Structure 1
Amino acid sequence: MIKIHYRGCCMNFDYIGSFIRSFRLANNESLQCLADRSGVSRSMIAQIESGQKSPTIVILAKLANAMSISLEDFVKAPTGLNDIKILMPSQDNIVSKKGSVFVCHQLTTRSNSSPADFYQFYFTSHGKTSFSANPVSDTVKYIWVEQGELTLFLSSKKIEVKAGQAIKFKASTPHRFENRQGPLAKGTFFVSYENNIQQ
């Protein structure tokens, strides 16, 4: 069974070495501690982490067992490891109305790989903005206020969200933001479609 997993996976030893090191650091575990638990020598683990040695399947099995993960998950690097993108606000991703005191940039759009829309917003002067009900059921909006104070009107409720605070609510309810006084509000929010990922 081990051989099937081993042969069926494309081995990435750089990934395995960095994974072992990340695992140790996340668990505040020394090389010696992992060596004692796995039965693999300290020097061997260090050389695997640094990419100086490629481990055998027997060594990998011992390490996987000590780390409480399956051998297959251990040796198979996740897809999209290098799929990294810096998200920046720009004139091209503004989705708010032109001339509005509320400026909103859409940084990501829901897709096959992402179950959420992600936005950055700020007020250029005190004012308000309204949102209609999201037509997709079971959507949730998460808002984090970085600066200023945001007043959220949700149905008959009035909620004050201060800098450093976050709030979540059903996006299927019409709502509005207001920033009437104090520092101009800015922050981020995202709309989650967890049960409605596009196929």
Structure 2
Amino acid sequence: MNTEKPWAEGDVGKYIGANLRQFRGNKGISMDVLAKQIGVSKLTLINIERGEANPTLSVIWKIANGLKIPITALLSIESDVSISRKNDGIKLSSSSDVFVVEPLFRSHSTIEFYRGYLQPQGEYLSEAHQLGVMEFVTVMCGRLTVEVDGETYHLDEYDSIRFKGDRLHKYTNPSSSLTILHFAISYNNL
């Protein structure tokens, strides 16, 4: 059994950059147009495409939304059979490392799967995703508060929630211990 990672530890940015360049080129979108469309500087996008930067989770979301692709399409994880082991995958972080997600598999359909870690007393505000996106979240360990459209939902271990991800939403860990999530994102419009 091959248990090697498909990338070296510091190569995540290179894979994202190569895939960004390919998707942008295939869609015929210039660097200037993409930068203006998603609100990320052209220099930042150039550095990402060159593999000289590891973009934050927020920037990766903006790129995927701008290109209208699932976020995992920017990652290079391919195989007929894939095993996602804890701490062996690519880690995408919020700018403050309060929220860290691991894409479990490269998207082969319109659904993505993630493992997420929200620090104690941590809060992560997610920008709206593409129109039609649905999120499905299960708390595997700890507690979680999700705010969507001004409504707050409290979840305990093994509770699940489904909501429209195409609007601002916030994850909060109200506890003093790490909250671990499994979630799926469905792109109904792709």
TM-score, with structure 1 as normaliser: 0.51
Counterparts of 1:183-194 in structure 2, within 5 Å, are 183-194=177-188
Task: Flag as ranges the 4+ runs of structure 1 deviating above 3 A.
Answer: 89-92
Q: Following the alignment from structure 1 to structure 2, what is the Cα–Cα distance between the partners of residues 180 and 117? A: 26
Q: Following the alignment from structure 1 to structure 2, what is the Cα–Cα distance between the partners of residues 176 and 115? A: 23
Amino acid at match of 2:163: F
Unpaired runs of 5+ residues, structure 2, are 1-78
Q: Please give the per-residue CA displacement for 1:107-134, whole angstroms capped at 9, x wherever unaligned.
A: 2343xx3211211111233210110000
Amino acid at match of 1:131: S
Counterparts of 1:89-104 in structure 2, within 5 Å, are 89-90=86-87, 93-97=90-94, 99-104=96-101
Amino acid at match of 1:134: H
Question: Hey, what does 1:108 align to over in structure 2?
Answer: 105
Query: Percent identical across equivalent pairs?
Result: 24
Unpaired runs of 5+ residues, structure 1, are 1-81
Task: Please tell me whether residue 128 in structure 1 is matched to residue 123 in structure 2.
Answer: yes
Amino acid at match of 2:157: A
Query: 1:98 Cα shift?
Result: 5.0
Query: 1:99 Cα shift?
Result: 4.1
CA 1:95/1:142 → structure 2, altered by over 3 Å: closer, same or farther? same
Greater shift in the superposed pair: 121-130 or 138-147? 121-130
Query: 1:89 Cα shift?
Result: 4.3
Q: Following the alignment from structure 1 to structure 2, what is the Cα–Cα distance between the partners of residues 138 and 107? A: 22
CA 1:97/1:178 → structure 2, altered by over 3 Å: closer, same or farther? same
Greater shift in the superposed pair: 150-159 or 179-188? 179-188
Q: Please give the per-residue CA displacement for 1:69-92, whole angstroms capped at 9, x wherever unaligned.
A: xxxxxxxxxxxxx92210134476
CA 1:108/1:127 → structure 2, altered by over 3 Å: closer, same or farther? same
8 Å contact 1:109–1:116 — kept in the other structure?
no
Q: Following the alignment from structure 2 to structure 1, what is the Cα–Cα distance between the partners of residues 126 and 86? A: 20
Q: Following the alignment from structure 2 to structure 1, what is the Cα–Cα distance between the partners of residues 94 and 164? A: 23
CA 1:174/1:109 → structure 2, altered by over 3 Å: closer, same or farther? farther
Q: Please give the per-residue CA displacement for 1:156-199, whole angstroms capped at 9, x wherever unaligned.
A: 10000111111101110110100122542111111111441xxx
8 Å contact 2:127–2:167 — kept in the other structure?
yes
Task: Please tell me whether residue 175 in structure 1 is matched to residue 169 in structure 2.
Answer: yes
Q: Following the alignment from structure 1 to structure 2, what is the Cα–Cα distance between the partners of residues 130 and 171? A: 12
Q: Following the alignment from structure 1 to structure 2, what is the Cα–Cα distance between the partners of residues 185 and 89? A: 15
- What is the root-mean-square deviation of aligned Cα atoms in Å? 2.1
State the structure with more CA Rg.
1
Question: Hey, what does 1:148 align to over in structure 2?
Answer: 142
